[in-house]
Amino acid sequence: MSSVPAVLQSEWTKIRTVSSTTWTLALAFLATAGIGAVAASLINPGRNFDPTLISFSGMSLGQLAMVVFGVLVVGSEYSSGMIRTSLAAVPRRATFLYGKIFVAGLLALVVGLVTGFITFFLGQALLGDAGTDLGAPGVLRAVVGSGLYMCLIAVFSMGVTAMLRSSMLSLGILMPFFFLVSSILAAVPKAKDVARYFPDQAGSKILQVVPDASGGSDVPYGPWAGFGIMAAWVVAALIGGYLVLRRRDA
């Protein structure tokens, strides 16, 4: 059962039959859209107002749900002991790992894009005359980018979990990092020059349409360059995950 189509089918079956992964994806949607709607309904538009970015005010919590999803997809193999059975069925470890990440990443991308468009349209409806539309410069890029961002957050978490081989350890590192450490360091004058190159800080620039919104004018890269920085982190995590899986026993 080591052919690529069989591996992809197997991984799809694993993901869709585990309720926890379904709930985390639903939570990613609800948190992102719900908090964005609240922010859009309460905001008082002012100088350097970015109506698109306001719609994605809930992304900070939505991305945490994507972190949990990514961790569970890989970590459940180790916590349940299924990793031994999986590797016995698929001896080619690259095929096993990247097949799993491809299926889960594609699902995260679909959910991310659906979340992004619904969140945007809901937010703009609540903003009324202060809102914008997909035809405005940079808006479509930001909305599509929101889905890509959520996908890469999940894939990055999968790579990290493959390296750490533990759901609890991965969550213990990734959740505080994205929710606290990254945000705190980004606000510290001497540390923000480093923090701006963290995956979430760099990647989230793709959500921004108005350059001066949320203090975004001081970064030395644009939206797509920031997304490229995030992608580099993801590639590094995936390579690291594969190297650990290849060199260590299940």
pLDDT tens digit sequence for 188-215: 888 888 999 999 999 999 999 988 776 5
- If pLDDT is split at 50, 70 and 90, which confidence band does 219 have? confident
- pLDDT at 1 exceeding the cut of 60: no
pTM for this model (two decimals): 0.94
Question: Which pLDDT score, from 0 to 100, does residue 72 have?
Answer: 95
In tens, the pLDDT along 88-116 reads 888 899 999 999 999 999 999 999 999 99
> Of the ranges 15-19, 57-61, 117-121, 195-199, which one carries the lowest mean pLDDT score?
15-19
For a pLDDT cut of 70, what percent of the chain falls above it? 97
Answer yes or no: are the C-beta atoms of 17 and 6 closer than 8 Å: no
Question: Where in the sequence is the domain holding 95, given as residue range(s)?
Answer: 4-247
CA distances from 90 to 2, 87, 132 (A): 5, 5, 49
Question: Which pLDDT score, from 0 to 100, does residue 192 have?
Answer: 87
Question: Which pLDDT score, from 0 to 100, does residue 186 have?
Answer: 83
Question: Which pLDDT score, from 0 to 100, does residue 2 have?
Answer: 64
Question: Which pLDDT score, from 0 to 100, does residue 214 have?
Answer: 60
Question: Which pLDDT score, from 0 to 100, does residue 50 have?
Answer: 92
SS (H, E, C) the chain: CCCHHHHHHHHHHHHHCCHHHHHHHHHHHHHHHHHHHHHHHHCCCCCCCCHHHHHCCCHHHHHHHHHHHHHHHHHHHHHHCHHHHHHHHCCCHHHHHHHHHHHHHHHHHHHHHHHHHHHHHHHHHHHHHHCCCCCCCCHHHHHHHHHHHHHHHHHHHHHHHHHHCCHHHHHHHHHHHHHHHHHHHHCCCCCHHHHCCCHHHHHHHHHCCCCCHHHHHHCCCCHHHHHHHHHHHHHHHHHHHHHHHHHCCC
In tens, the pLDDT along 141-156 reads 999 999 999 999 999 9
- If pLDDT is split at 50, 70 and 90, which confidence band does 56 have? very high
Which whole number is the average pLDDT over 112-135?
95
CA pair distance 54, 210, nearest whole angstrom: 11
Tally of domains within the chain: 1
Tokens linked to 28 = 């990613």
- If pLDDT is split at 50, 70 and 90, which confidence band does 249 have? low
